[in-house]
Amino acid sequence: MSKKKNASKTSQQDLQNKQLAKKRFIKQFIPLIAAVTLWIISSSILHLPAIKNEVAAFFINFTLQSSLLFGKVFFIPVASPTFPFLTIGGYTMQVVMECTAYNFYLFVIFLSLFSPVKWKQRLLTLLIFLLAVFVVNNLRFITVGYIGSYSQKMFHLVHDYLWNILFGFLVFLIWAWRYNKSMEPESELHDDV
């Protein structure tokens, strides 16, 4: 009789653990799906023919000005001879919409705001994300400028592949760090809300 009771109790605990795991998964996954969906929608809207050129001009100008400021602050010779060109280390690059990291800015905004954590943590994560994307994007321009002055082939390799992978990895690492840092204690997850 005792074995039946223990088996029933174990079965009931297994069912409760599975239900709890499902709740946790939904609590963590739905906000991510919402963030990705809004990111896709926003990116699509920004490419509508009626506003695409103005949006591109805004992001390109922001990127050029931030690269110039970044260069000035760190005593790196950065120039913008004409819009939308940027010269670093004697290598001139044309800055286009995709160079501005606008996709990463948008994604980190939605990822931060839809994270299943408290609002204070969301806003702090957003601030960290925006600052990180800003700094890394400026470092990217400086790095590929110097690489381009050395080798055109290396410029394209680093520009097209390495930086995109590093940006994606950076976003994931910051999100995982902030998300794990602000998770609720295990005891709070058992409460039905």
Give the 3-state secondary structure of the chain.
CHHHHHHHHHHHHHHHHHHHHHHHHHHHHHHHHHHHHHHHHHHHHHCCCCCHHHHHHHHHHHHHHHHHHHHHHCCCCEECCCCCEEEECCEEEECCHHHHCHHHHHHHHHHHHCCCCCHHHHHHHHHHHHHHHHHHHHHHHHHHHHHHHHCHHHHHHHHHHHHHHHHHHHHHHHHHHHHHHCCCCHHHHCCCC
Domain boundaries, the chain: 2-189
- pTM > 0.85: yes or no: no
What are the pLDDT tens digits along the chain (193 aa)? 566 666 666 778 888 888 888 887 777 778 888 888 999 999 999 999 999 999 999 999 999 999 999 999 999 999 999 999 999 989 999 999 999 999 989 988 998 888 877 899 889 989 998 999 999 999 999 999 999 999 989 998 888 888 878 877 877 887 777 667 666 554 343 344 3
